[in-house]
Amino acid sequence: MQKYGVNELRRMFLEFFESKGHLAMKSFSLVPHNDKSLLLINSGMAPLKPYFTGQEIPPCKRVTTCQKCIRTGDIENVGKTARHGTFFEMLGNFSFGDYFKKESIAWTWEFLTEVVGLDPDRLYPSVYLEDDEAWEIWNKDIGIPAERIFRFGKEDNFWEHGSGPCGPCSEVYYDRGEAYGCGKPDCTVGCDCDRYMEIWNNVFTQFDNDGNNNYTELEQKNIDTGMGLERLACIVQDVDSMFDVDTIKELREHVSRLADAEYGKEYDTDVSIRVITDHIRSVTFMISDGIMPSNEGRGYVLRRLLRRACRHGRLLAIQGKFLTKL
Ligand code: SER
């Protein structure tokens, strides 16, 4: 498999969907606009909510973006594991009452297997328990054998985040091989270990959640897909974690140089290097989108990230102001 860089993968994705009639839009700000349900933009679909509900008319019924996102729900795990991070870029293609499951699934497959060149035998789709339509598309149109298509319940295959548009989803998992597995006899798609990595989520946005789990059917059927760019890059570059992909590794190495500490030798040092590498990405994008440190709301999230990054700098015995150098 060719080892594309993060910047190449981003371009390949946007160009692929442009070739399928999508308008490539720039990433929206991390600061939500007219959406009190979110402190920070956390997915590609979040800034597009009014287009899904029909409240606003989109510039095109097919849109593709690479959206900067922040999720801090797992902040305590950042650094401790190789996979947690607060900042990531989400690749997505969106249909506002235009194409639906059939096209979206076919393009997911085409992009992963033909454009990126992932081995089809390592890919496993999952569908929502009751979604026979998506199951049939994977099985009949794409040709995935029945035993390779997994059906999961609401926890895994129903996407919603705060109030707004949501729906059942179909995900694609990539088998990273036994070396990444937990070794348990029943380890398979859906296992918590690192072997089967979820890479792309196709949400069939059919409902609107009022924020109190009251669902109403949307007038138009939409598509909202999301694929973590850094995660895709891990697979394509065959590296263990997002801290090892080309662009992020550069930053990680810069932290190592500032700290005069070697990465990959000692657990606590690695944790601190990873925390700083991750947090400086969030902090930089938050500040460039106009957020300032404060005691509440998103300003507090920024302050917390800054403090954590500084503290880990002190743990690495870096002297003086150093975040600005990153
Ligand atoms: N909204 C879905 C997600 O964030 C797909 O884009 O996973």
**Domain boundaries, given as residue ranges, for the chain:** 6-237, 245-325
Mean predicted lDDT score pLDDT of the chain: 95
Q: Calculate how far, in angstroms, residue 187's C-alpha sits from the geometric centre of ligand 1.
A: 25
Cα 125 to Cα 158: distance, rounded to the nearest angstrom: 14
Residue that has been written with the tokens 């922040």 in this structure:
70
pTM exceeds 0.85 for this model: yes
Contacts (Cβ under 8 Å, ≥6 apart) of 187 = 181, 193, 195
pLDDT grade for 58, boundaries at 50, 70 and 90 = very high
Q: Calculate how far, in angstroms, residue 128's C-alpha sits from the geometric centre of ligand 1.
A: 15
Nearest to 9 by CA among 97, 118, 101, 94: 118
pLDDT grade for 325, boundaries at 50, 70 and 90 = very high
Start-to-end CA span in the chain (Å): 32
- CATH fold of the domain at 6-237: BirA Bifunctional Protein; domain 2 (3.30.930)
Cα 89 to Cα 14: distance, rounded to the nearest angstrom: 13
86-90, 105-109, 129-133, 210-214: least confident range? 210-214
Is residue 190 pLDDT above 80, yes or no?
Answer: yes
Pair 196, 80: CB distance under 8 Å? no
Q: Which of 96, 203, 205 to mutate to test the pocket of ligand 1 (most atoms within 8 A of CB)?
A: 203
Residue nearest to atom 7 of ligand 1 (CA): 226
Q: Quick one: angle between helices 267-288 and 297-315, nearest 10?
A: 150
Residues in the chain: 326
